[in-house]
Chain A
Amino acid sequence: MTQSENSQRPVEPAASGSWKRFWPKSVRGRLGISLILFWVLAALLAPLIAPYPPNAQDMDALSNLGPSAAHWLGTDLLGRDILSRILWGARTTLLVVPIATASAFAAGTAIGLASGYFGGLVDRVISGISDIILSFPTLVLYIVLIASIGPSIINIVIAITLASAPSIGRIVRGLTLELRSRGYVAAAEMRGESVLFLLFLEILPNARGPLLADLSMRAGLAVVTVGTLGFLGLGLPPPDPDWGSMVAENVTMIPVYPYMALFPGLAMCSLVIGFSMLADGLEEE
């Protein structure tokens, strides 16, 4: 249905150089990107806007842990300001997530392009290995990997790359299979362009639509993964805040002080929801 509407609309030239080109057109997409931008700003400005250093303990607050004028979201059991820790925690999440997503996408795109374009034995080997990795339940794979190689930013990135590259590869492979039979690819082949030129300058740019939506969804999943690993005690070592471990530290206190775990949990939710809404909006376009 949307197809026919599009074809009847006059084609407007893309306003190149204008940032509006990148602004999502659907309501959900716009809501999503606003949430993401909010957290990006919060992470960037954390040293300026956070009322306290993330690990500073306020001994006066220990008698009244709840939200107050001095601590808007209250403090945790050690008297550390929760608002400041959430803002600083955004930095951890928004540092690991883009690196992990980019690395997973680089690996997934490479194997997807290779198996889709070359086919045959290359395809069978890559698909076989991907199927095996995909047969592990994701979280079990993370636990096995992180428990074996130890928790650190690099290892979390490696684990996320290993676990999500195969499914990204599958999508890229499907798109490549479809695009490689197009005329412009044949034309470039005829001109004698190199294989790398074909893959990265002819096929990949034309597959960007579905890939961008997937990228946003993967970033959301990476946020969940980083948070879940932190929650399970497989994330980054304390005391520096990350949302998952903040929830884990305070989850047993919920019957008495629910806000300690609730606020970091809500922060995590809003960022993930932002990414999925953006993905949904991009898919519709």
Chain B
Amino acid sequence: MLNFALRRLSQLLLTAIVSSFLLFVVTEFSPGTVSRQILGPYALPNQVAQLDEKLGLSQSLPRRYLNWVSVLVGLKANPLGDPALGLDLHDSRGERYFGNFGYSLMFKQPVRDVLGEPLRNSALLGAVAMIFIVPLSLLIGILAGANAGTRLDWSISSLCLIITAIPEYAAGVILLTVFVSYLGWLPGTSPLLASEQWSVASQLVLPVTVLALATVGYVARIVRASMAETMTKPFVRTALLKGLSKRQIVTRHVIRNGMIPPLTVLLLQLNWMVGGVVVCESIFAYPGVGRLLLQAGLFGDLALVQTITLLSLAMAGVTQLVADISYVALNPRVRLT
């Protein structure tokens, strides 16, 4: 077990290095370079070249990647923070520290200062959504799976199929139309500032619903499939023959055995939610990382795009690792090779 965990961990490290390099290459290829952005559209090409030289951007790609990583782990000072450049960028944490993600050119602040608040907001959104997603999807999936083949199952599965298919932004629009435009029960935007009319909690309702809808449909379908398969196992027949009621069979035997695949899926769902979070936050003007990533991407704020993508990659890697390990830990039949 420990061996397996260690091997997966080293794999994760390798993936982290390669994917961060890929990310670096893709973002560095974007047309608006950092120097061009600082100097503005009217700068002469030789001025841009000069600044490139100073910032070390004229070096080869692998060199630049190494520079970037050394700034990140605190071995080098970020050249953008040099007071001689007159960019007026400073970092209260000092020049060199571990986890230095550079400066956001959009906000003229260190990325870490920019990210703190939105990260907390998005984590809140994700956590509240998960509180609803887990019990709801398990309940719906178990209900459909335990009654596989019946009309109830067909209706639940069809509904889940439709709900999963609805894109997040379309779901957002439909909910806004009903609850904001016609009923007037909820606020249309969620700036997370309590106003006289709307409390912060009421501002969370619609974003959480949009986020939960798509995920619940998908996870419930997987729970249903796993439950339906477990229902056909011989031990269910044995339990039936020894006189247990259907309720007892489902709660005592089928759920325990049928929950292993959905649990890992739920963990991996966290990654899928990152995309949903971006859309959700832009619909409701929710001050989170997703909207920040979109703004940064449209503005061309390389440092911010790279940092947020790195964070989402790190989350993807860690959840994958936890999912793999928990799958093995929960299911003694899985042999480690």
Q: Does A28 contact B (CB under 8 A)?
A: yes
Q: Does B279 contact A (CB under 8 A)?
A: yes
Please state if B173 and A261 are interface contacts (CB–CB under 8 Å): yes
Interface size class of chain B, counting residues whose CB lies under 8 Å from the partner chain: 35 or more
Interface positions, chain B 170-192, Cβ under 8 Å from A, are 170, 172-174, 176-177, 180-182, 188
Please state if B274 and A139 are interface contacts (CB–CB under 8 Å): yes
Which of B41-49, B254-262, B311-319, B328-336 forms part of the interface with chain A?
B311-319
Q: Per-residue 0/1 for B24-45: is the Cβ within 8 Å of any A Cβ (1 yes, 0 no)?
A: 0011011100000000000000
Other-chain contact of A272, B165, B180, B271 (Cβ < 8 Å): B165
Q: Does B135 contact A (CB under 8 A)?
A: no
Q: How many Å from the CB of A130 to the closest CB on chain B?
A: 11
Please state if B176 and A269 are interface contacts (CB–CB under 8 Å): no
Q: Does A103 contact B (CB under 8 A)?
A: no
Count of residues in A whose CB is under 8 Å from the partner chain: 47
Q: How many Å from the CB of B290 to the closest CB on chain A?
A: 9
Q: Per-residue 0/1 for A268-283: is the Cβ within 8 Å of any B Cβ (1 yes, 0 no)?
A: 1100110111001000
Please state if B188 and A132 are interface contacts (CB–CB under 8 Å): no
Q: Per-residue 0/1 for A124-155: is the Cβ within 8 Å of any B Cβ (1 yes, 0 no)?
A: 00000001100111111001111111100000
Please state if A255 and B165 are interface contacts (CB–CB under 8 Å): no
Please state if A137 and B169 are interface contacts (CB–CB under 8 Å): no
Please state if A138 and B275 are interface contacts (CB–CB under 8 Å): yes
CB contact under 8 A between A144 and B23, given known A132-B18, A139-B274, A258-B177: yes
Which of B51-59, B64-72, B100-108, B294-302 forms part of the interface with chain A?
B294-302
Interface positions, chain A 238-285, Cβ under 8 Å from B, are 244, 247-248, 251, 254-256, 258-259, 261-262, 265-266, 268-269, 272-273, 275-277, 280
**Complex: how many Å from CA A249 to CA B272?**
26
Please state if B165 and A139 are interface contacts (CB–CB under 8 Å): no
**Complex: how many Å from CA A155 to CA B182?**
39
Q: How many Å from the CB of B107 to the closest CB on chain A?
A: 17
What DSSP secondary structure best describes chain A's contact surface?
A: helix
CB contact under 8 A between A280 and B161, given known A132-B15, A136-B316, A140-B293: yes
Please state if B19 and A269 are interface contacts (CB–CB under 8 Å): no
CB contact under 8 A between A276 and B170, given known A139-B275, A140-B275, A143-B293: no
Interface positions, chain B 278-328, Cβ under 8 Å from A, are 278-279, 282-283, 293-294, 297-298, 300, 305, 308-309, 312-313, 316-317, 320
Q: How many Å from the CB of A251 to the closest CB on chain B?
A: 6
Please state if B15 and A255 are interface contacts (CB–CB under 8 Å): no
Q: How many Å from the CB of B154 to the closest CB on chain A?
A: 9
- Which A residues are CB-close (under 8 A) to B181? 254-256, 258
Which of A7-15, A178-186, A224-232 forms part of the interface with chain B?
A224-232
**Complex: how many Å from CA A192 to CA B37?**
60
**Complex: how many Å from CA A254 to CA B312?**
31
- Which B residues are CB-close (under 8 A) to A51? none
Identify the closest chain B residue to A254 (Cβ). B176
Q: How many Å from the CB of A214 to the closest CB on chain B?
A: 15
Q: Does B162 contact A (CB under 8 A)?
A: yes
Please state if A265 and B174 are interface contacts (CB–CB under 8 Å): yes
- Which A residues are CB-close (under 8 A) to B305? 143-144, 147
Please state if A140 and B18 are interface contacts (CB–CB under 8 Å): no
Closest 3 CB pairs between A and B? A139-B275, A147-B297, A148-B30
Kindly list 12 other residue pairs between chains A and B, CB separation below 8 angstroms, not including A140-B275, A265-B169. A135-B15, A135-B317, A136-B19, A143-B294, A143-B297, A144-B297, A146-B297, A147-B30, A248-B169, A269-B165, A277-B161, A280-B161
9 A-B interface contacts by CB (under 8 A): A136-B316, A145-B26, A148-B29, A149-B30, A227-B170, A232-B294, A262-B174, A266-B170, A269-B174
A residues in contact (CB < 8 Å) with B: 1, 28, 131-132, 135-140, 143-150, 220, 224, 227-228, 231-234, 244, 247-248, 251, 254-256, 258-259, 261-262, 265-266, 268-269, 272-273, 275-277, 280
